[in-house]
Copies of this chain bind each other. A is one copy, B any other.
Amino acid sequence: MNTKPFLDTVLSPSLLNLYDISDSIVVIIDVFRATSTIATALYNGAAKVIPVESVMECIETGKKLNAITAGERDGKIIEGLQHGNSPAEYPREFIHGKTLVLTTTNGTRLLHMALERGASEIVAGSFSNLSAIQSHLKETRKNVILACSAWKNRINLEDTLFAGSVISGIKENFTIHCDSSLMAEEMYRHHKADMPCFIRKTNHWHRLASYGFEKDLEYCILPDTANVLPVYRDGALIVE
């Protein structure tokens, strides 16, 4: 009898509705840069990160909670918010003990989709907290959806590679009947050794590097730089 839980990879938010996620842990993946920023802020002692969908909601929530407002649209900082979506903006001396309200193009939107579709648990994953994600999924032994934020629903390589890196470490613990998972793991296996080079071929790299974010992107593909488990509880991502 096969008692291993199932693992599926969903390469675009547009495909999430094809899956019943009600009994699954959903890992929200937005490597460039929302989930890398979330892990980094929490690792550096942020009390919580509140993901919101709109800029207006970000400003209002920030005011109400006396929290830091941050976000991006199309990779750029938004007028009216205090900070951007760069992990480098949230060192310990700045973020410790504070609440961050964050809105981004792809990642925060996907998180709310997963919430609406009744995910049993939502966590935020990135290379920054790869091991924490892997350990949690292995220990919890529930079905898993690796949900990539993509770019405006178009599949991207960096989120796929991260899904592959998760799979490569935990695949023995899961039943995987999913061609997207197979591809993600293959892509990761072929490129884990040349990641800094390979990632420069992605669409997202070209988009963000042109805004001067190379250092951010290089940071975002390093494993375990902020190895915490951001779990979504009562409207915010926290470390339990």
Contacts and interface: CB of A to CB of B under 8 A. Distances in A.
Interface of A: 11-12, 14-15, 18, 152-157, 160, 177-180, 182-183, 186-187, 190, 201-204, 206
Contacts of A15: 12, 14-15, 153-155
A147 to B, nearest CB: 14
Contacts of A204: 179
Given A18-B154, A154-B15, A203 B186 contact: no
A203 B179 contact: yes
A78 to B, nearest CB: 23
B177 A183 contact: no
Given A14-B14, A186-B190, A156 B177 contact: no
| Secondary structure of the A contact surface, majority rule | helix
Q: How many copies does the complex hold?
A: 2
A153 B187 contact: no
Nearest to A157: B179
A177 B203 contact: yes
A20 to B, nearest CB: 13
Contact of A179 (B14, B182, B190, B202): B202
A154 B180 contact: yes
- Which 6 pairs between the two chains have the least Cβ-Cβ distance? A157-B179, A155-B180, A156-B179, A14-B14, A179-B203, A18-B153
Contacts of A178: 154, 203
